[in-house]
């Protein structure tokens, strides 16, 4: 871990190369640092995040959703959620300059997971950091098998539609399962085409449906989603016999610095104070057990 960049709080200027509308509230930004040196040097682990600094407006943490194997650019999927992200959606366009610092956080322990099956459980925007692992696997065949469970309200709100549809069609050792709470037109179309891969309901329902078909006992599980999701998914995974020490999750807190100074992301009690930005954002189930308040 550490800082690839010189200035701790300012970051390095980067140009927006492309903006793609993913849904009505999420956009994908492709960026490249102005300084080529940094582009070459910039290296990260899936699960890490950067601070996205908009001059004069503010700064926020955002997970990197491209893969470290694809160098020279950086992709960030940003949801319109508040002050700065609203500004970004409305005013940051192709050619805009923003400042990026990082990568920060621990990232997923990929070495440990090598050659095992992996289960990715994503809820809503939680797909963003998990896409990084997905792409990494596509490029390196890091895991023996990759099972993606992606729960989203409806097709309209689904991220990375093109990529996921490609994978749904069938890809060597990548298996994609989707769950929709509401069946809109897109969802209906998907159900028609890939009936076996789509479940109506929550992501936990999808996991349940696949009980017996996915080797949960040997798998690593990684999850990311809205705060309310964790409790239920962890319970389900344990129920499906995923080993407790193989459950990983990436969490979110308010962050003003990203480097363990500002104190906003501190969680835990007298025996277990943790900084989400330094000790996380990737945590294990063990961390959750020993740190009160981590997922609730």
Ligand X SMILES: Cc1cc2nc3c(=O)[nH]c(=O)nc-3n(C[C@H](O)[C@H](O)[C@H](O)COP(=O)(O)OP(=O)(O)OC[C@H]3O[C@@H](n4cnc5c(N)ncnc54)[C@H](O)[C@@H]3O)c2cc1C
User: What is the contact surface with another protein in residues (CB under 8 A)?
Assistant: 1-3, 7-10, 13, 53, 55-59, 79, 81-87, 90-91, 96-99, 226-228, 252-254, 256-257, 259-264, 266-273, 292-293
Nearest CB to ligand X, comparing residues 117 and 225: 225
- For 55-74, letters b (16+ CB in 10 Å) and e give eebebbbbbbbbbbeeeeeb
Of 53, 85, 132, 197, the one binding ligand X (CB under 6 A) is 85
Nearest CB to another protein, comparing residues 39 and 272: 272
CB-based contact 137:143 (threshold 8 Å): yes
CB-based contact 64:101 (threshold 8 Å): no
Of 28, 62, 168, 202, the one binding ligand X (CB under 6 A) is 62
- The site partner of 93 among another protein, ligand X, none (C-beta below 5 to 8 Å per kind) is none
- The site partner of 75 among another protein, ligand X, none (C-beta below 5 to 8 Å per kind) is none
How many Å separate Cα 160 from the centre of its chain?
12
Tell me: does residue 128 bind ligand X (CB under 6 A).
Answer: yes
Tell me: does residue 58 bind ligand X (CB under 6 A).
Answer: yes
Min dist CB 277 to another protein, Å, is: 11
What is the residue whose two structure tokens read 């805009």?
96
Between strands 145-152 and 174-180, the pairing is parallel
Strand partners, 178: 150, 198
Min dist CB 84 to ligand X, Å, is: 3
Contacts of 47 (CB under 8 A, 6+ apart): 63, 105, 106, 107, 108, 129, 132, 133, 250, 281, 282
Q: Residue numbers of the site for ligand X (CB under 6 A)?
A: 49, 58, 60-63, 77-79, 81-85, 125, 128, 252-253, 255, 281
């Amino acid at each position: 871990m550490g800082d690839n960049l010189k200035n701790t709080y300012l970051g390095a200027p980067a140009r927006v190369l492309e903006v793609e509308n993913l849904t009505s509230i999420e956009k994908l930004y492709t960026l490249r640092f102005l300084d080529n040196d940094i582009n070459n040097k910039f290296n990260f682990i899936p699960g890490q995040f950067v601070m996205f600094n908009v001059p004069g407006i503010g700064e926020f943490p955002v997970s990197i959703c491209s893969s470290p194997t694809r160098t020279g650019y950086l992709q960030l999927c940003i949801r319109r959620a508040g002050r700065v992200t609203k500004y970004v959606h409305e005013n940051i366009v192709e050619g805009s300059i923003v400042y990026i610092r990082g990568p920060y956080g621990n990232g997923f322990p990929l070495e440990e997971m090598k050659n095992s099956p992996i289960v990715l459980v994503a809820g809503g925007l939680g797909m963003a950091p998990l896409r990084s692992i997905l792409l990494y696997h596509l490029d390196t065949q890091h895991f023996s098998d990759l099972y993606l469970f992606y729960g989203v309200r409806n097709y309209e709100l689904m991220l990375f539609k093109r990529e996921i549809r490609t994978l749904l069609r069938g890809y060597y050792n990548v298996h994609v399962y989707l769950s929709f709470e509401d069946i809109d037109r897109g969802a209906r179309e998907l159900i028609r085409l890939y009936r076996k891969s789509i479940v109506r309901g929550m992501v936990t329902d999808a996991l349940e449906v696949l009980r017996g078909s996915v080797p949960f006992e040997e798998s690593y599980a990684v999850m990311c989603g809205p705060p309310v999701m964790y409790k239920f998914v962890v319970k389900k995974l344990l129920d499906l016999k995923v080993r407790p020490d193989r459950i990983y999750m990436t969490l979110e807190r308010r962050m003003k610095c990203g480097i363990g100074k500002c104190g906003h992301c501190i969680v835990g009690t007298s025996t277990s104070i943790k900084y989400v930005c330094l000790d996380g954002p990737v945590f294990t189930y063990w961390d959750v057990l020993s740190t009160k308040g981590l997922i609730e």
